[in-house]
Amino acid sequence: MKTIAAASGNKGKLREIAEIFNGYEIVPMQAAGFTGEIEETGCTFAENALLKARTVCRALGMPALADDSGLCVEALGGAPGVYSARFAGTHGDDAANNALLLQKLSNVPAEKRGAYFESCVALIFPDGREFVASGRTYGKILPKAQGSGGFGYDPLFFSEELGKSFGVASAEEKNAVSHRGKALRALERQLRENAEGNRS
Ligand code: IMP
């Protein structure tokens, strides 16, 4: 099985990447020996995913996979978007981020609470090959948390495709419709096509 370093320190993301991209051995970047900090300076999910994967691939000399993702809320003009992890100020404080989201939407009626998650994934090889794919999943922001499963904004996100929140969905249910599931399956298709192209 091919080994790939995952350019992320987010436990929820790492678990989902390993579940979805299960044809590969996914090793978290720290476990693979990456000790640096990566500043996410990009303005788009794609820029940040490429930045993270290139940095880790270059440092470790092995294939590196990054996911940059976030929640885009219609009533907030697409925010928090690329700032989803640090919406309330501290990187990765899910409770504070969720509280701020609820506060900002407190006067917004149900029909205007549309939102989507987006994920952009980048896989970089030491020989210079770069693959990028993205996925979206649509829904709306609930007035209060439903369930405690998943991570990040999951308990507040009512999935259109599942008819329930990501906070009550099983891992299999979420991965089947999620932005990350769609992006990683598209990436896998690109890798297969590339391998087939090289053979013919
Ligand atoms: P990143 O590490 O900069 O890509 O930040 C991603 C942030 O977006 C996470 O910390 C979460 O706040 C949010 N996010 C991305 N994907 C998900 C998901 O699948 N469920 C819930 N929140 C997510």
Per-residue tens of pLDDT for the chain, all 200 residues: 799 999 999 999 999 999 999 999 999 999 999 999 898 899 999 999 999 999 999 999 999 999 999 999 999 999 999 999 999 999 999 999 999 999 999 999 999 999 999 999 999 999 999 999 999 999 999 999 999 999 999 999 999 999 999 999 999 999 999 999 999 999 999 999 988 777 76
What are the backbone angles phi and psi of residue 135, rounded to the nearest 5°?
A: -150, 155
User: pLDDT at position 79, please?
Assistant: 98
Q: What is the CATH number of domain 3-199?
A: 3.90.950.10
User: pLDDT at position 194, please?
Assistant: 87
User: 2-26 burial, b if ≥16 CB within 10 A, otherwise e?
Assistant: eebbbbbebeebbebbebbbeebeb
Minimum-distance ligand 1 atom for the alpha carbon of 10: 2
Threshold 0.95, pTM exceeds: yes
Which residue out of 13, 52, 142 has the highest number of ligand 1 atoms within 8 Å of its CB and is therefore the one to mutate? 13
CB atoms within 10 A of CB 175: 17
Give the span between the Cα atoms of 38 and 79, in whole angstroms.
22
- Give residue ranges with CB within 6 A of ligand 1: 10, 40, 68-71, 84-85, 92, 97, 117, 150-154, 178, 180
Burial of 34 by CB count in 10 Å (0-12 exposed, 13-18 middle, 19+ buried)?
buried
Q: Which of 67, 68, 93, 94 is catalytic?
A: 68
94 catalytic? Reply is no
Which residue out of 44, 84, 86 has the highest number of ligand 1 atoms within 8 Å of its CB and is therefore the one to mutate? 84
Give the span between the Cα atoms of 134 and 72, in whole angstroms.
14
User: pLDDT at position 185, please?
Assistant: 98
User: pLDDT at position 200, please?
Assistant: 65
Nearest Cα residue to atom 11 of ligand 1: 152
